[in-house]
Amino acid sequence: MTSPDGGSARRVFLSLGSNQGDRRRFLAEAVESLGPMVTAVSSVFETDPVGGPQQGLFLNLVVELRSTLTPRELLAVCHRLESGAGRVRTERWGPRTLDVDVLWIDGETVADDDLEIPHPRMWERRFVLAPLRELAPDLVGEDQVIAAVGAVRVVDGLPPSPGSR
C-alpha cells in the first residue's frame, strides 16, 4: 500500500484506555471508528491506574494499524477519538472516558514537546506492554512486561460491533 506522496503504509500501535463511564463501549467505539486501518486488537486488560490522583481501574488495550498517516495526523486521530468519547482534560493523568496514545510507528522517531514516538513512558507501564506484547512480541519481551509497573489482568476481548455481524 502506497500513500499519495509515495510513502508506504507502516505498522502503528495505539494504546487505548478508559476508566470513566461505559469503559468497554468507549474502547469498542474508538476501535470501530478506526475502520480498515485496524489489523489487530489485543485482549482487554483491567489495570491499576499508574501515576496521577487516586481513581478507578482502567480498561486498556492496544490496536495495531497499517497506515500512511504522518505522526501529526495520527495524533489528530487520537484527539478526535478522545473528543468523540467526551473526554475533558481537567487533571493530568486524572480519570478519563478515553485516552489514546501513539505508542510506536515503524521507522519513526519524534521528539517534540507535544508528541514523542516511541511513547516516552511505554516501557515503564505494564498496562501498555502486556497488550502490546500480544500483538508485537518482536518489540516487547516478557522480561520487559515483568519489570514494568502496575497490575494487569485480562478481562476479555471487545464485543463485536453491531455492524460486524
Catalytic residue check, 23 = no
**Are 53 and 94 spatial neighbours (Cβ–Cβ below 8 Å)?**
yes
What residue type is assigned to position 68 of the chain? T
**Are 27 and 158 spatial neighbours (Cβ–Cβ below 8 Å)?**
yes
Of 11, 99, 125, 126, the catalytic one is 99
Peptide bond into 118 cis (omega under 30): yes
Catalytic residue check, 89 = no
CB atoms within 10 A of CB 66: 16
Catalytic residue check, 113 = no
Of 10, 24, 25, 87, the catalytic one is 87
Of 96, 125, 126, 133, the catalytic one is 96
Can you tell me whether residue 62 is helix, strand or coil? strand
Of 11, 23, 101, 126, the catalytic one is 101
Catalytic residue check, 114 = no
Rounded CA-CA distance 120/131 in Å is 17
**Are 99 and 50 spatial neighbours (Cβ–Cβ below 8 Å)?**
no
Compute CA distances 40 → 44, 146, 157, whole Å: 12, 23, 11
Catalytic positions: 87, 96, 99, 101
